[in-house]
Amino acid sequence: MALLQIAEPGQSEAPHQHKLAVGIDLGTTNSLVASVKSGEAVTLPDFKGEHLLPSVVRYMPCGNIQVGAEARTFASEDPYNTIISVKRLMGRGSEEVNALGDEAPYHFESNDGGMPYIKTTAGAKSPVQVSADILESLVFRAEEALGGELVGAVITVPAYFDDAQRQATKDAAKIANIKVLRLLSEPTAAAVAYGLDQGKEGVIAVYDLGGGTFDISILRLNKGVFEVLSTGGDSALGGDDLDLALAQWMAEQLQIEVSDNSISRYLLEKAKWVKEQLSDADEVEALISLGEENYSLTVTRHQFDALVLPLVKKTIRACRRALKDAAVDAVDVLEVVMVGGSTRVPLVRAEVQAFFGREPHIKIDPDRVVAIGAAIQADVLAGNKPDSDMLLLDVIPLSLGLETMGGLTEKIIHRNTSIPVARAQEFTTYQDGQTAMAIHVVQGERELVSDCRSLARFELRGIPPMAAGAAKIRVTFQVDADGLLGVEAKELTSGVESRIQVKPSYGLGDAEIAEMLKASYLNAAEDKDARALREQQVEADRLIVSLKDALSVDGEKLLNADEREQLGWEIEKLVVLRNGSDVIAIEQGISALSKASDEYASRRMDFNIQKALQGHSVDELGESK
Ligand code: ADP
Ligand code: MG
């Protein structure tokens, strides 16, 4: 019989009432679990004292599973059964997975639904299952460390995660038997960890350079509430790319031929080690042994910095874009928070500091800061701090809308809208006597439905027959705090209604996990890229047209033949770039052309000022010759 616990008179009851809740950072490279203990949020170590759990799972034929560092040691030896960076596959269909190419070097099993299961010696594993295995390991660790059963967890996800990816994360938690108190965006968690929610109101930038991904988020603290103003970044840029650049350079220096996967993984591990040492040391010696051959190579921080500078610059360009999206200037950013192991690279810190013009927060371990913020939030949501009124808001990453006639998208909730949110819009029937309406819910920025991601379809039936355009159907979109969407359609004269909870076209049914990933999705990231491309093209066009216009007015007057020809060439160069699809090249072309036309622009200005002083209008001048 279990003994009843009785508190001593005068002893606080708090320890018995304190509910055990954790924050989980389910990372691409590493995962962590944290909890508030005696009023302080701390990450929880495993029995060996390690806090970071490598997000690696190895499946063995006997059915055993290894998770974490143990599994990672087999990454080169047993690559196909050792799953790394599974977060990249979450909520994605085969098409997208194939597009990942080398980054996902597994054998995939796709069937009619296009499910990207990973073939392992222990059977096909879905990404959701792999994530669940990581979560289970973290929960086990937490329950050991805290000495009790968890009431729930706050799990963090990137701010840009779409419905499918969020749902996949929730499904993984469900398989691992964890109650999800809330999905929280990673940047918001980091800001909370620094207590910025208690600080001065204003704009906060969260720069997160992890292992495989880069995210920049612009938040605003307003009346104690966090809003995400914009998110940006690069889902294929992170510490792994620094490793790759260094590994390739090392192979070149040592004239090593990278003839197979295991050599390349071995070199990557070496490069990672060198990189991490170089965060503290000015130079490092790498010892490499391949078969019979032994090599030694000294790498300096200076050499490393030169190799990775283009990658770091790329993150800074994304910061600039995110600020533009948020419509704020770098000088308006009050606080900069550094997240992710790769922000330990001194060059990264220096570039970020230079760009924002202020020192970033680095006091909390950048690996742990997200988990710590999640733990603080979990503590509040579990009810351990009933008086707290902390409210966190996220945004939706891509617009949500409906298909209308002609296969066009009508956006109901625009991207970067804070959640939770509900928006309604009225529609009407297209034909006389129409009694049903097909509702197709889509996500994306493009105008054509075929270019957007299809989320769900349902029908509203029983509309009383009326003339076309007479029925009034109100469609309401509602996104809850976890970023999940519900859609309701109601015919207002008759009151008939129909609704759907939009899970992506897969989900945990009562059937097996095998039913989970049914649909293949268009690439949400692609939509974002396409949008970025269009924006740059528009900017390029604006510059080209304005220069051509100006040249036709006063080009002959203000430039000599050589100069005119030169500028003509520069314009042609940008025209060519603009017609291509390389966003960065266009961006660079725009600044090149602006620079090339600087002199002309200033001559124009001088000339026009002079003429204006003489009492002539600028237009007159253009025609006067
Ligand atoms: P994720 O969020 O993708 O799981 P993390 O935030 O855990 O990633 O960051 C992992 C990355 O940080 C890896 O690429 C790792 O090599 C890098 N990293 C860890 N420590 C250092 C260090 N001291 N110097 C440079 N990079 C580091
Ligand atoms: Mg991370």
**How many Å lie between the centroid of ligand 2 and the Cα of residue 366?**
9
With a cut of 50, say whether residue 617 has pLDDT above it: no
> In this predicted model, which residue has the larger pLDDT, 512 or 206?
206
- Mutation pick for ligand 1 pocket among 32, 33, 43, 342 (CB with most ligand atoms within 8 Å): 342
Q: Which residue has the higher pLDDT, 611 or 250?
A: 250
Best probe residue, ligand 1, of 25, 30, 88 (max atoms within 8 Å of C-beta): 30
Q: Could you tell me how many helices (H) and strands (E) the chain has, helices first?
A: 16, 29
- Residue 237 Cα to ligand 2 middle (Å): 12
pLDDT confidence of residue 166: 87
Enumerate residues lining ligand 1, CB below 6 A: 27-30, 210-213, 238-240, 272, 275-276, 279, 340-342, 344-345, 367
Mutate to test the pocket of ligand 1, among 367, 369, 372 (most ligand atoms within 8 A of CB): 367
Q: What average pLDDT does the segment 126-145 reach?
A: 95
Lowest mean pLDDT among 397-406, 436-445, 471-480, 587-596: 397-406
**Shortest-distance atom of ligand 1 to CA 30:** 4
- Span from the CA of 210 to the centroid of ligand 1 (angstroms): 5
> Which of 208, 243, 445, 491 does the annotation list as catalytic?
208
* Residue 359, pLDDT above cutoff 90: yes
Best residue among 243, 276, 305 to mutate for probing ligand 1's pocket (most ligand atoms within 8 Å of CB) is: 276
Q: What is the residue-averaged pLDDT of the chain?
A: 83
In eight-state DSSP terms, residue 244 is: H
- Of all ligands present, the nearest one to the C-alpha of 343 is 1
The per-residue pLDDT for range 218-244, each reduced to its tens digit, is: 998 876 667 778 888 887 899 999 999
pLDDT of residue 406 exceeding 90: no
Residue labelled with tokens 């309701």: 488
DSSP letters along 33-63, please?
EEEEETTEEEE---TTS---EESEEEE-TTS
Whether the CB-CB separation of 395 and 231 falls below 8 Å is answered with yes
Cα separation, 504 vs 442, in Å, equals: 11
If one compares 416 and 380, the residue with the highest pLDDT of the two is 380
Expressed in angstroms and rounded, the spacing between residue 395 Cα and the centre of ligand 1 is: 26
Are 361 and 191 in contact by the 8 Å Cβ rule? The answer is no
DSSP output for 512-567:
-GGGS-------HHHHHHHHHHHHHHHHHHHHHHHHHHHHHHHHHHHS-HHHHHHH
Full DSSP string of 299-326: EEHHHHHHHHHHHHHHHHHHHHHHHHHH
Is the omega angle on the peptide bond into residue 45 within 30 degrees of 0, that is, cis?
no
C-alpha angle 177-58-107 in degrees, rounded to nearest 5: 105
| 308 Cα: distance to centroid of ligand 1 (angstroms) | 15
Looking at residue 105, its pLDDT comes to 67
Q: Establish whether 234 is a catalytic residue.
A: no
Tell me if residue 87 is catalytic. Answer: yes
For residue 115, pLDDT over 70 is answered with: no
What are the distances in angstroms from CA 512 to CA 155, 289, 515? 24, 46, 6
Contact 502, 455 (CB under 8 A): yes
Instruction: Express each pLDDT in 14-56 by its tens digit.
Output: 444 678 999 999 999 999 999 999 889 999 999 899 999 999 9
Positive or negative: CA dihedral 311, 69, 338, 531: positive
Candidates 39, 34, 5; CA nearest to 22 is 34
Q: What is the helix (H) or strand (E) element at residue 206, kind and residue range?
A: strand 202-209
**How do strand 400-404 and strand 293-300 relate by DSSP bridges?**
unpaired
Residue closest by Cα to atom 20 of ligand 1: 341
Q: Would you say residue 247 has pLDDT above 50?
A: yes
Cα–Cα distance for residue pair 423/411, rounded to 1 Å: 10
Ligand located closest to 243 CA: 1
Q: Count of CB atoms within 10 A of residue 223's CB?
A: 6
Measure 269 CA to ligand 1 centroid, in angstroms: 12
pLDDT reported for residue 217? 94
- 25 annotated active-site: yes
How far, in Å, from the CA of 252 to the mean position of ligand 2? Answer: 31
Task: Supply the pLDDT for residue 449.
Answer: 78
Residue 623 above 70 pLDDT? no
Q: Token pair 């550094």 is at which residue?
A: 338
* Protein residue with least CA distance to atom 6, ligand 1: 340
Contact 116, 520 (CB under 8 A): no
Six token digits for residue 137: 């390991």
pLDDT band at 103 (very low <50, low <70, confident <90, very high): low
Instruction: For residue 168, report the phi and psi dihedrals to the nearest 5 degrees.
Output: -60, -40
pLDDT at 378 (0 to 100): 92
Measured CA to CA, the distance from residue 165 to residue 171 in angstroms comes to 10
- Which residue's CA is the nearest one to ligand 1's atom 10? 211
C-alpha dihedral (151, 156, 159, 162), degrees to nearest 10: -70
Q: Which ligand does the CA of 52 lie closest to?
A: 1
Atom 22 in ligand 1: which residue has the minimum CA distance? 276
């990450």: which residue's tokens? 43
d(CA 114, CA 126): 12
Q: Please give the Cα distance from 47 to 317 (Å, whole number).
A: 42
Cα end-to-end distance, the chain, whole Å: 106
| Catalytic-labelled residue, pool 87, 411, 503, 528 | 87
pLDDT bucket at 355, cuts 50 / 70 / 90 = very high
Residue with CA nearest ligand 1 atom 19: 341
Q: Can 445 be counted among the known catalytic residues?
A: no
Residues listed for the chain: 625
Counting ligands in written order, the one closest to the CA of 344 is: 1
CA-based nearest residue to 207, from 218, 219, 216: 216
Residue 8: per-residue pLDDT: 37
Any idea of the CA torsion for 102, 138, 163, 230, to the nearest 10 degrees?
-80
